[in-house]
Amino acid sequence: MSVPNEATVALMTGVDQKPEISKVEIPKLEPRAMLAEIQAATLCGTDIHLWHSAAKSMPYIPGHESCGIIVAKSGDHSDVTGEPVEIGDRVIWAYPFCGECFYCSVANQPTMCPNALRFGREPVAVYPHLLGGCATHQYVPPRSSVIKVPDQVSSELAASAACALRTIMHGFERLGRVPAHETAVVQGTGPVGLYALAVAKSRGFKRVLSIGAPATRVAVAKEWGADATLNIDEVPDRNERIKWVTEQTGGIGADVVIQCAGNVAVPEGLEMVRAGGRYLSIGEGGGTHDIGVSPRAVSVKMLNIIGVRSGAGRHFYEALQFLKQGKFPFEELITGTYALENVADAFNGMKAMTEVKAAIFPNS
């Protein structure tokens, strides 16, 4: 495949400023590095948060959810199953962890690696420059775990698996066994919350309840099999929402609550969990301000509070295999498609929440 000398990219040059379309030289590949021609990049809430706050990284190429076809490589590279990656393979790839720090080599918690490159936010002036998906091409670093995309999975869904769904898979791994009698509550009906609902339904919970907004997203949750739904726009009082969960669970509370709505939802969610239950916190949006949590939630209530960050290669692989099964109409999450020159419209749609998930097709 031919490789151009330059990539066309969207550049974030200022906080909340309109992205600029520019050219960036294709970098020389390090040993075992690869270059991907982007087939689709999808946006999530993290991209909007970075747009509002990542002044120290600007200018940068946005987009941390990418699916691409390998068009160049330097030496051999294998995917997570040990199969060689060849020119023409359609793949997604994980953040490259250093493999040498305490978290990588001792704690076996590579997603906590302080030396990892994180796509969609690295300064474009720093080598290897092309580390965002809103571009015709993206650099795949040597240490990135690479996962081949099954033929049954579209490029835009594969891209979305590279953030929301892989994090859900990591979260359920940390959550552990799901007894058949348990009820789960999912806080949030954005892409993360809807993916969490789908995985929860597939993991054997007796009942899965969904809480979120707006009405269009609550309707998707209902369509995907939520046993009961609650629209927070219609029930704005948190105490009434906690009461609803209590009533739905026979006065006990949920065995598991999965937080996919942002930090501000945590105190409310902790009140929804039964004594001795588990609280899985995945959504990290909602600002950096402190939230009030009673010590009772940890000690007297004896909760198991579980956090999760990002995902490793195995979680990407598991996410793609889940999509491959085709049990849910995941295409409904992709509510808008955009050419690269219209990426500003995609960001504005995500900011206004008129899009559930926007997909960018840089080479269309």
Going from the C-alpha of 220 to that of each of 73, 86, 204, the distances in angstroms are 41, 38, 20
Residue 318: inside a domain:
no
Residue span of the structural domain in which 233 resides: 167-307
Considering the domain architecture, whether residues 340 and 303 belong to the same structural domain is answered as no
Considering the domain architecture, whether residues 81 and 186 belong to the same structural domain is answered as no
210-258 per-position pLDDT tens digit = 999 999 999 999 999 999 999 999 999 999 999 999 999 999 999 999 9
212, β-bridge pairs:
231
Give yes or no for residue 347 having a pLDDT over 90. Answer: yes
Considering the domain architecture, whether residues 281 and 178 belong to the same structural domain is answered as yes
Residue 159: inside a domain:
no
Considering the domain architecture, whether residues 266 and 353 belong to the same structural domain is answered as no
> Which DSSP letter does residue 217 get?
H
Q: What is the predicted pLDDT for the residue at 59? A: 95
Q: How many domains does the chain have?
A: 2
Euclidean distance between CA atoms 7 and 148, whole angstroms: 23
60-83 per-position pLDDT tens digit = 999 999 999 999 999 999 999 999
Residue 321: inside a domain:
no
Considering the domain architecture, whether residues 234 and 290 belong to the same structural domain is answered as yes
266-313 per-position pLDDT tens digit = 999 999 999 999 999 997 765 556 777 777 777 889 999 999 999 999
Give yes or no for residue 352 having a pLDDT over 70. Answer: yes
Residue 124: inside a domain:
yes
108-124 per-position pLDDT tens digit = 999 999 999 999 999 99
Considering the domain architecture, whether residues 330 and 245 belong to the same structural domain is answered as no
Residue 157: inside a domain:
no
Considering the domain architecture, whether residues 86 and 202 belong to the same structural domain is answered as no
Question: Which residues, 6+ apart, have CB-to-CB distance to 263 below 8 Å?
Answer: 283, 284, 285, 286, 287, 291
Mean pLDDT in residue range 178-200 = 96
Please check whether residue 277 is in contact with residue 303, taking contact to mean a CB–CB distance below 8 angstroms. yes
Considering the domain architecture, whether residues 124 and 196 belong to the same structural domain is answered as no
Q: CATH number of the domain that 354 lies in?
A: 3.90.180.10
Considering the domain architecture, whether residues 132 and 172 belong to the same structural domain is answered as no
Q: CATH number of the domain that 259 lies in?
A: 3.40.50.720
**Torsions phi, psi for 183 (to 5 deg):** -115, 135
Euclidean distance between CA atoms 155 and 149, whole angstroms: 8
Considering the domain architecture, whether residues 254 and 341 belong to the same structural domain is answered as no
Give yes or no for residue 138 having a pLDDT over 90. Answer: yes
- The mean-pLDDT minimum among 163-172, 178-187, 298-307 falls in 298-307
Considering the domain architecture, whether residues 51 and 143 belong to the same structural domain is answered as yes
Give yes or no for residue 10 having a pLDDT over 60. Answer: yes
Is 0.75 topped by the overall pTM?
yes
Considering the domain architecture, whether residues 330 and 235 belong to the same structural domain is answered as no
Residue 148: inside a domain:
yes
